[in-house]
Amino acid sequence: MERNDSQTLAQTGKSFWSNRWQLPCWAMVYLLIACLLQFYFISVPWDQDTAYHVAVGRLIQQHGILHAFPWTPFSWLTDHYADKELLFHLLFVPLANLSWILAAKIVAVFLEVVMLLTFYFVLRKEKVRFAGLWALLPLVTSAVFVLRFSLLRPHLMSITLGFLLLWAAVRGRFLLLAVVSAVYPWSYVAFWQLPMTFLFATEIARFLSGQHVRWKPAAVAVGGILAGLALHPNLWNLLRLNWIQMVDVLFKNAWQSKAGIELGTEFIPFTVDKWARWLLACVLMAIAGFFLAWRNRKEDPAPLAFSIAVLVFGILTARTPRFAEYFVPFSVATIALAVRSIPWRSISIIVFCATLPFTAFEIAGTLQGIAMNVERIPPSLAFWLQQEIPIGTQIFTTDWGFTGTLMLALPERKFIVALDPTLFLVKDPELYRLWYSLPLNPYPGMGETIRRRFGARFVISAWDQRFPKFYYLLASEPGVRTLLVSDFWMVFDLGIPLQ
């Protein structure tokens, strides 16, 4: 009798964990991890782009779907506006009345949990043992992924969509493939490049596995993308912006290091040392996953499809580090799918425990770094600036990265450019070169140049050690008032432009 009771309890426990309770339990684990990251480790969003996305969400809440962007009149977006991440920005609309930091944290937690649950869902559908643990492995494998995972950017949505799209293409889940493809143009700038990459990986894997290449997944994906584009409110501008982002921003400016264009450190390739510190575990997983996937490709092409996608992202990461956000999770997925052929039930635990000691130090340093950020314009400073700078005023800024922060602090004012300096260069190359050169090569009387050429009465500069002469000469000009000198900001009132 006791033995039967023990067997019944064991079977009940197994059923409890393996069926209906597994999903909510892992969802709670992922929610706890995301909340710890956003509400414990991060006090202020580390990335300045977050402020821009929150600002756009507030503008949508106030003005409806945007078709122009008059807040940056020197940008190509001014009268060719296209919201390449419209769905992402819509998430902020119901949170517009909250503080921007709280709104950012809520959206970040939501997208992070959805991403981890998507990994779990796909791996569980693929009969991967301990799928919930494998879904967490990207956060243990690379400090780079921990950093990118913590940032509230559209890539959180794109990685999730890409994971679903690749799996749906491999397994012939055409309804899911169509829906995900239709959502992509509303979610990410590379709305057709990434889906085509995943479809390419799928069909190459199918071919190498001795199966017939299928046309239907590509047809369904293309149909979904076209449907999503047709419904997008900024259709034609979105197509043009996609071309600018791919050709002008990535190929010409980032990869060719075009002079006079500063796109940030995330476009500077990793050194060998950084690859060893931040991505070696992923590289080893990708290599092991590829050989296992190749050996078993006749039985199942899915691991090989993920492995080919990893190879593509690995090549891109060698040129542009921001693609590491795809390289890491797809490497983990490749090894997770590939090791199903290994009979060890605890292989995920072995990989998890072997990886963590190697990466723990770098991950701890990353968490410490993102916790050190402070709010650049606290509410008291924002209120003071609003009293000094009237609504509708044109402001000359020396940098593009902090435009989102300034838009939140000074709503309904105008700034030079947001998102990317390339969008200024495309609209007016001559004026762009003047804007770029003024802080680097200042001269007496440049205040009048700023007034006349840019129609700006105020100058706001995030403190830059390259610009002390610019600050000194500007402050020394007749009629110019220095409004603020702080550790972060320099603010000048140039006076009313001369007629």
The answer to whether position 30 is within a domain reads no
Flag whether the pTM goes above 0.85.
yes
Q: Is 230 helix (H, G, I), strand (E, B) or coil?
A: helix
Are 123 and 169 contained in the same domain?
yes
Can you name the residues that pair with 397 across neighbouring β-strands?
460
Are 97 and 199 contained in the same domain?
yes
pLDDT of residue 320: 84
CB atoms closer than 10 angstroms to residue 357: 8
- pLDDT at residue 212 is higher than 60: yes
pLDDT of residue 420: 78
Average pLDDT across the chain, whole number: 90
The answer to whether position 16 is within a domain reads no
Asked if 408 and 54 count as a contact pair (C-beta separation under 8 A), the reply is: yes
Q: What percent of the chain has pLDDT over 70?
A: 91
Are 326 and 430 contained in the same domain?
no
Helices (H), 126-234: 131-141, 143-150, 155-171, 174-183, 193-208, 216-231
Asked if 455 and 392 count as a contact pair (C-beta separation under 8 A), the reply is: no
The answer to whether position 168 is within a domain reads yes
Task: State the pLDDT confidence band at 353, using cuts at 50, 70 and 90.
Answer: confident
- HEC-encoded secondary structure of 234-300: CHHHHHHHHHHHHHHHHHHHHCCCCCCCCCCHHHCCCCHHHHHHHCHHHHHHHHHHHHHHHHCCCCC
Are 385 and 305 contained in the same domain?
no
Give the separation between CA 425 and CA 433, rounded to whole angstroms: 8
The answer to whether position 202 is within a domain reads yes
Are 319 and 412 contained in the same domain?
no
Averaged pLDDT, 51-55: 96
pLDDT of residue 252: 58
Examine the fold and report which residue of 370, 402, 433 is the final residue of a domain before the chain moves on.
370
User: Exposed, middle or buried by CB within 10 Å (0-12, 13-18, 19+), for 285?
Assistant: buried
Averaged pLDDT, 387-414: 94
Examine the fold and report which residue of 318, 346, 370 is the final residue of a domain before the chain moves on.
370
pLDDT of residue 2: 44
Are 353 and 267 contained in the same domain?
yes
Task: State the pLDDT confidence band at 267, using cuts at 50, 70 and 90.
Answer: low
Which of 2, 276, 292 has the alpha carbon at shortest distance from 144?
276
Domain limits at 478? Answer: 379-493
pLDDT of residue 206: 96
Find the angle CA(319)-CA(320)-CA(326) to the nearest 5 degrees. 115
Task: State the pLDDT confidence band at 261, using cuts at 50, 70 and 90.
Answer: low
Are 354 and 403 contained in the same domain?
no
Question: What total number of domains does the chain contain?
Answer: 2
Task: State the pLDDT confidence band at 495, using cuts at 50, 70 and 90.
Answer: confident
Assigned token pair, 297:
């490709």
Averaged pLDDT, 82-107: 96
- pLDDT at residue 246 is higher than 90: no
Asked if 60 and 93 count as a contact pair (C-beta separation under 8 A), the reply is: yes
- pLDDT at residue 3 is higher than 60: no
**Lowest pLDDT segment from 3-7, 81-85, 206-210:** 3-7
Question: What is the tens place of the pLDDT at every residue in 425-451?
Answer: 889 999 999 999 999 999 999 999 999
The answer to whether position 144 is within a domain reads yes
Q: What phi and psi values does residue 14 have, to the nearest 5 degrees?
A: -65, -45
- pLDDT at residue 256 is higher than 50: no
Within 8 A by CB and 6+ apart from 44, the residues are: 101, 373, 374, 375
- pLDDT at residue 409 is higher than 60: yes
Which of 128, 110, 108 has the alpha carbon at shortest distance from 119?
128
Asked if 446 and 377 count as a contact pair (C-beta separation under 8 A), the reply is: no
Question: What is the tens place of the pLDDT at every residue in 32-46?
Answer: 999 999 999 999 998
Examine the fold and report which residue of 348, 370, 392 is the final residue of a domain before the chain moves on.
370
The answer to whether position 470 is within a domain reads yes
pLDDT of residue 263: 54
**Lowest pLDDT segment from 341-345, 418-422, 488-492:** 341-345
Averaged pLDDT, 240-253: 73
pLDDT of residue 4: 52
Question: What is the tens place of the pLDDT at every residue in 148-166?
Answer: 999 999 999 999 999 999 9
Are 144 and 272 contained in the same domain?
yes
Are 162 and 190 contained in the same domain?
yes
Question: What is the tens place of the pLDDT at every residue in 317-349?
Answer: 988 888 999 999 999 999 999 998 887 777 777
Are 237 and 323 contained in the same domain?
yes
pLDDT of residue 199: 97
Task: State the pLDDT confidence band at 12, using cuts at 50, 70 and 90.
Answer: very low
pLDDT of residue 225: 98
pLDDT of residue 1: 45
The answer to whether position 145 is within a domain reads yes
Are 185 and 242 contained in the same domain?
yes
pLDDT of residue 411: 96
Averaged pLDDT, 63-76: 95
Are 328 and 199 contained in the same domain?
yes
- pLDDT at residue 8 is higher than 70: no
Asked if 120 and 132 count as a contact pair (C-beta separation under 8 A), the reply is: yes
Helix (H) or strand (E) holding 104: helix 100-125
The answer to whether position 67 is within a domain reads no
